[in-house]
Structure 1
Amino acid sequence: MKNTILTSLFIIAFQQLSAQTATRRDSLQGGLRPERTCFDVQRYDLNIKINPDEKTIVGYNDIAFKVVENTSKIQLDLFENMQIDSIVFNAKKLNFIREEIAVFITFPDELKKGSDQKLRFYYSGKPIIAKRAPWDGGFVFTQDSKGKPWIGVAVQGTGASLWYPVKDSQSDEPDNGASIKIAVPNGLMNVSNGRFLGSEDLKNGYTRWDWEVKNPINTYDITANIADYAHIHDNHKGLDLDYYVLRENEEKARKHFEEVKPMMDCFQSKFGAYPFTDDGYKLVETPYLGMEHQSAVAYGNHYLQGYLGNDLSSTGVGLLFDFITIHESGHEWFGNSITSKDIADMWIHESFTQYSEIVFIECQFGYEKAMQYANGLKDNVSNDRPIIGQYGVNKEGSGDMYPKGALMLNTIRHIVNDDAKWWKMLLKYSETYRKKIIDTQTVVDFFNAESGTDLTPVFNQYLRYTNIPELEFRKEKNDIEFRWKADEPGFAMPVDITIKGKKVRLQPTSEWKKLAEKVKSMDNIKVLKNNFFIKS
């Protein structure tokens, strides 16, 4: 019997619900108007102080950018509750106008196409505190068991501009990486993305911790993790593995995180080399469940197997691995390396990443266990609204992008019907779009070309409609006929059945077709629904 409470937990937890009526603020955050497209961010250099007692931030962000089109005005972003202290360019303060989240900055002279520019954005204030991170965006200010501050931040979907000034769009990552310098009270450590460069006692009760990111990075991935951390260092086949955990959990973490090594072996064999080797790989213990912060993956699963000790598939297979370690690390390939241009296409992150769980299970425990887990996810699909959201207004689609999207990919694997070809395709996809920003059409075109099959109707049915395709049969005189019932016009997709135990591949369309084999009873036909996410 299915654990309905767990199913509800999954749907709530991974469905970052948003109203379908777009506001002006949504358009300002999600749109690509000329004030955004006229420049390309090259680098962020964030230098701030976080005061745990006052729950405040003060500091600046140096933003380097290349001018793409002549302009005298650009848009940056900072949440309305945060104070802009000044914006400085060539030693002069710039004029700006705030509208909702957007900060429209005017330059005294036109910036010329192709030129490299830099400004310094000073700001301060109390960032929004999350009510239930990471499902809503914001900071978490809490304490460890010794009463010391323990602070984290998660802002996916909500926006990085919740806590620092930024071009808050997935369409533009800093090409030359970033530095994150965060001062925290003495006795605490800040862990951010990339490599640790060193710390400096500022002689004012604070120590600044400096981190450097060499790679392009999603702005929502840039992170701060503040605690009295213990540091565990390891290396696996040349890849640095670093774990920052609460001191009381150090020994537990050493044992528990051994799972990372077979995970890396699996993912690198199936998806290609770890994308951020020069930034290293980290797991950082956080006071919230988890988040895919690039090269500093947030971990808060309490060293339990499954999802907080539960199995999202209700099959038992989900308890064979730590969901947060595997899922959030899978995002290093899908979401952090391959990024969707608009969050309406977040399925590009989440569908492939939930599928990476299935891949890991197959690597470790075999195909049958992987399929058992995959099919166990079916009851987590709500079919409430399309997986693809609204473009240009910072709106994601249904939380079905996780289980339904993964089941779609598993279906495509069985459409391809050649595992060697499938794994080659998946590897090539990951390597072709490595560290690139793409959209749904790019994904569809790739898999169409590599499979040699028009999969467009398949992608459209699963991503753009709520229903899953239904394989219908009927008996007409002495014949059995079959067809697809689907929303996508002209829907067609191969599917496998067995007739008296013999496997047969059908090529149904939206029109009735006759079954070539003679079958006396419908009871002799079994649809292989474990391989295809369909109704029948």
Structure 2
Amino acid sequence: MKKTVVILFLIFSIGKSFPQQAFTRKDSLRGGLRFERTCFDVQRYDISIRINPTEGSLTGFNDISFKTIDNTSKIQLDLFDNMAVDSIVWNKQKLHYKREFNAVFIDFPTQILRNSFQKISFCYSGKPTVAVHAPWDGGFVFTKDGGGKDWIASAVQGTGASLWYPCKDSQSDEPDNGATIKVAVPNGLMNVSNGRLIGSEDLNDGYTRWDWEVKNPINSYDISINIGDYVHFGENYKGLDLDYYVLRENEQMARKHFEQVKPMMDCFQSKFGTYPFVEDGYKLVDTPYLGMEHQSAVAYGNKYKMGYLGNDLSGTGIGLTFDFIIIHESGHEWFGNSITSSDIADMWIHEGFTNYSESVYIECTQGYDKAVKYLNGIKNKIKNTEPVIGHFDVNNEGSVDMYPKGAWLVNTIRSIINDDKKWWKILLDYSLAFRHKIIDTETVEKFFSEKSGFNLKPVFDQYLRHTKYPVLELRKNKRKLEYRWKTDVAGFEMPFEMDLNGKTIRLKATNEWAMSKFRIKSTRDFKILTDRFLISVERSN
């Protein structure tokens, strides 16, 4: 899906402090946007495959519909090089192609003019990569359930959807008109994919094909398969279909445990807007790995425990009051699936806002103070060893700090605004303005700056493109407090808060020294409040 939002690629011009890192031709083929990728816009994927659990193999095709943006006689699609290309057919003609690493360059016998609609049928087969530790490494999981039946699932974020099906494997383009996913599996098993179940067919050869359709645009890595002895239950909740597909052995636990989806939906829809994929419904699907934000088919593997596999990532106790995977991965429906970053270097747009959505859920259900306590707990997870934003055009995500530091950037902006009525409107407007769109960091910066009335670009730069927090320097000058921000970026301006004799004082600071109106004996006479801002403090005299 080509963006109606302008995508800017000017990151390197603003001086990111990256460590030296070598990238290869393979990286740029995967992450870059050369002409063979930008000359066409994917309209639809129609995937039809058969999976053999015993062999760990699949065979099938993807009918790829696209619109040409420029005149071209060559396009690039992607399929991992361990998978065989059986044929690529266009207008009943077999097309020539050349493979380079995981890229497939397809030649047409004649030039295709811009603004024309085309379709190719890409037939392929092979054994997709098996994940060693899904979802942290991409691949398929082939395992058994408690009854000894096959249980299979895909998880390919970061590694690439082209691990198992041919596609334009870039977040910069999504199929405008959705997709169908038709998967044939041995009788007695069911496949659950994204969107709605539109039918199933016994193929009379020991296999049954399960057909799913997605109406909305969808990230390539979100398209998923989940195969098992599933049972289904669900309901329509306030106009939204909630569907659950769980292993037969888990049904009773799931019926009780998944009740927390309802207050979550109440919260998220009130703060972020209507669920973005109502036409496709909302699903939780039992998976043999921890979880993943597969659009309209959220992968669930948290073993029906509260917290993160029974642990509290915040260390506050609050993280044990909800199922982390349900809340976090569902938050991605708004931030990641609906609002998508054009390059994975900007994945903080997915993970930072979603990590923040955990505290939003806590605030909805337990109050503001608990939400702040939770956020201050996850602050301890920030490492500050690499910038949050990665390298562009080479399939590089950047630092894992995209989760907690990204969340704290969002919370710090809220604290800068210091008006919750205004803040919640801005956050809602952000979710609605970029609903089903692909954006970049500059777009986010511009939006929040314009809506808040603050120049937030230096704030975004410091938190995302450098490793250090803003340092609040304090000193005494003639019994008056002087203060300023020490930052890597110029023009940094942000308020801070202090507790002086039981009174909260809010002061605006810049990179230049400023003097307060009140007297102090020492810079240690008062407390700088750091529970709402992500900062460091340095005091002298």
TM bucket, shorter chain:
over 0.9
> AA paired with 1:285?
D
**Superposition RMSD in Å:** 1.0
1:77 match: 78
2:329 match: 328
| Count of residues paired in the alignment | 519
Name stretches of at least 5 consecutive residues in structure 2 with no aligned partner: 1-18
1:228 match: 229
Would you say the 8 A contact 2:476–2:522 is kept in 1? no
Output the CA distance in 2 between the equivalents of 1:364 and 1:320.
Answer: 10
Deviation, structure 1 residue 522: 2.7
2:419 match: 418
Aligned residue for 1:168, secondary structure, equals: coil
Output the CA distance in 1 between the equivalents of 2:127 and 2:279.
Answer: 33
Output the CA distance in 2 between the equivalents of 1:231 and 1:175.
Answer: 29
Output the CA distance in 2 between the equivalents of 1:483 and 1:197.
Answer: 61
2:141 match: 140
2:65 match: 64
> AA paired with 2:236?
N
1:205 match: 206
Normalising by structure 2, report the TM-score: 0.95
Deviation, structure 1 residue 280: 0.2
Aligned residue for 2:536, secondary structure, equals: coil
Deviation, structure 1 residue 490: 2.6
1:178 match: 179
Which shows bigger deviation, 258-267 or 481-490? 481-490
Deviation, structure 1 residue 523: 3.4
Would you say the 8 A contact 2:42–2:67 is kept in 1? yes
Normalising by structure 1, report the TM-score: 0.96
Aligned residue for 1:421, secondary structure, equals: helix
Output the CA distance in 2 between the equivalents of 1:20 and 1:99.
Answer: 22
Render the CA deviation track for 1:311-368: whole Å, top value 9, x for unaligned: 0000000001000000000000000000000000000000000000000000000000
Matched, 1:90 2:91: yes
Render the CA deviation track for 1:284-328: whole Å, top value 9, x for unaligned: 010000000000000000000000000000000000100000000
1:9 match: none
Q: 1:57 to 1:20 in 2, by over 3 A?
A: farther
Would you say the 8 A contact 2:66–2:119 is kept in 1? yes
1:438 match: 439
- 1:111-126 residue pairs with structure 2 within 5 A? 111-126=112-127
Deviation, structure 1 residue 19: 9.7
Aligned residue for 1:54, secondary structure, equals: coil
Render the CA deviation track for 1:487-517: whole Å, top value 9, x for unaligned: 1123221111122121211111112111222
2:514 match: 513
1:289 match: 290
1:8 match: none
> AA paired with 1:261?
K
2:240 match: 239
> AA paired with 1:338?
I
Output the CA distance in 2 between the equivalents of 1:397 and 1:368.
Answer: 31
Deviation, structure 1 residue 482: 0.8
Matched, 1:387 2:388: yes
Output the CA distance in 2 between the equivalents of 1:494 and 1:446.
Answer: 20
Q: 1:299 to 1:19 in 2, by over 3 A?
A: farther
Output the CA distance in 2 between the equivalents of 1:142 and 1:492.
Answer: 54
Would you say the 8 A contact 2:171–2:341 is kept in 1? yes
Deviation, structure 1 residue 425: 0.2
Would you say the 8 A contact 1:20–1:395 is kept in 2? no
Output the CA distance in 1 between the equivalents of 2:21 and 2:286.
Answer: 34
> AA paired with 1:280?
G
- 1:244-393 residue pairs with structure 2 within 5 A? 244-393=245-394
Output the CA distance in 1 between the equivalents of 2:150 and 2:181.
Answer: 20
Output the CA distance in 2 between the equivalents of 1:33 and 1:414.
Answer: 41
Output the CA distance in 2 between the equivalents of 1:523 and 1:441.
Answer: 39
Would you say the 8 A contact 2:384–2:467 is kept in 1? yes
> AA paired with 2:402?
M
Matched, 1:20 2:39: no
Output the CA distance in 2 between the equivalents of 1:118 and 1:494.
Answer: 55
Matched, 1:485 2:486: yes
Would you say the 8 A contact 2:476–2:520 is kept in 1? no
Aligned residue for 2:360, secondary structure, equals: helix
- 1:425-464 residue pairs with structure 2 within 5 A? 425-464=426-465
Output the CA distance in 2 between the equivalents of 1:60 and 1:333.
Answer: 30
